[in-house]
Structure 1
Amino acid sequence: MKRLIGRFVLWISGWKQLSPPPNEPKYVAIAAPHTSNWDLVLLLAIAWVNRVKLSWMGKHTLFRWPLGWLLRRFGGIPIDRRSRHNVVEQMAEVFRKAKRLVLAIPPEGTREHAEYWKSGFYQIARLAQVPIIPGALDYARKEASAGPAILPGEATLVADMDRIRAFYAGKLGRFPRLMGPIRLREEDALGEEDALRAQLKSSASSDQPA
């Protein structure tokens, strides 16, 4: 039934899927760009068509009676932010225990304009040792697509983000004015560290006797 509903939603809205679902049992799926509530409708339709169960994180208090069972049925994973284990550690543990798990994360953390992506998707994938799959909803062309698998740790953070930026280049959300740059605060910190190292190296060289 879900598959039929998903196909109907894509058909009536004029959307098409460009790439098959990733052949990975466990991964973190980037859901971007996120500028509208319709993103969730389309994302669920695509997941249902491909028989992929999407999971998402929610505050643990949302999962109490009477709605807890329903939220879990629709892929909800309760996260306790008060725990001594932070969100990244909690989700990494969930990944370790699961045989199959697709965790969808909108990295902007909001439908409004954001200057930075939140790095939780990257940190979770790295600690859980699962790949990141970029997923895009391009409203300009009404096309849904999935990018290459990226395993954090095989390259540098900046190199991984460059691959993600390349995949999303030219893809527009429903409200393009709400889209922000694809970057992490950690990248800025790395840039500052590199600049400091270069400055220290330059200073050390200038202190050498002629």
Structure 2
Amino acid sequence: MTDTPPPGTHIRYDLGRADPHAFRGIGPELYRWASQALFAIVGWKVAGAYPHHDKAVILAAPHTSNWDGLWMVAAAGIYRVRLRWMGKASLARFPYGWLVRLSGLYPIDRSGGKDLVRATVDAFEASDHLQMAIAPEGTRAAVGEWKSGFYHIARLAGVPIVFAVMDYGTRTVRISGEIWPSGDYEADLAVMRSHYADARGKHAGRFSVGSGKQV
């Protein structure tokens, strides 16, 4: 990974490219082939070269359907990226914990009254490599504003926010850019919203790029 850019740095990616990461072994490669086959069958595609950051918050939106997770995980497979999503530590327990972990679960320990932001920051600090997908809406239902937890996680962990746009209008998962949090949430939010302004969710009426909501 290169030197960390200054806070507030915003980069737009070249959407004419969709370069995958390097070969990671036969298992991930079989998963990549399966993901490519799925996208070919359903008519989806990826755009934008996935960045080579060891750690990042992946801002996955719009999130209006259970199908969104499938497209996001399949896109990560095409890019040869191990994508994770956060969930309660109890989900990783016997008897189905191994299967849930295989799907990308990163169990978050919230014992001792630890809040979700702090627990997720701790997960970043304990990991050498972590690509954590977070939906800013926090729910598949219609919301008028985004929750800001993803932003505070990235800021406190010192990692970029990478924009993953799941656009049902063009049937494309776009990895469109990144921002390194400046600490001015409202200013950074305006930049982030610009990447999602034209995106359409599966249930278009449920998606909004409204103002941020504190968690």
Instruction: State the TM-score bracket (shorter-chain normalisation).
Output: 0.7 to 0.9
Deviations 1:22-46 (A, max 9, x none): 2211000011001111111111111
More helix by share: 1
Structure 2 counterpart of 1:162? 190
Structure 1 counterpart of 2:91? 62
SS at match of 1:36: coil
Structure 2: any 5+ residue segments left out of the alignment?
1-29
SS at match of 1:31: strand
Deviation at 1:177, TM superposition (A): 1.0
The AA in structure 2 aligned to 1:8 is: A
2:212 to 158, 172, 184: 184
Deviation at 1:79, TM superposition (A): 2.2
The yes-or-no answer on 1:49 pairing with 2:78 is yes
More strand by share: 2
- TM-score, length of structure 1 as denominator length: 0.83
Count of aligned positions: 185
The yes-or-no answer on 1:104 pairing with 2:104 is no
Structure 1 counterpart of 2:69? 40
2:174 to 145, 154, 166: 145
The AA in structure 1 aligned to 2:202 is: R
Kept in 1, the 8 Å contact 2:155–2:183? The answer is: no
The AA in structure 1 aligned to 2:137 is: E
SS at match of 1:149: strand
The higher radius of gyration belongs to 1
Deviation at 1:82, TM superposition (A): 4.3
Distance in structure 1 (CA, Å) of the matches to 2:178 and 2:210: 18
Deviations 1:96-142 (A, max 9, x none): 12111100011111111012211111111111110101110111111
Distance in structure 1 (CA, Å) of the matches to 2:100 and 2:83: 12
Deviation at 1:165, TM superposition (A): 0.9
Structure 1: any 5+ residue segments left out of the alignment?
187-210
CA RMSD between the two structures? 1.4
Deviation at 1:73, TM superposition (A): 2.6
Kept in 1, the 8 Å contact 2:56–2:159? The answer is: yes
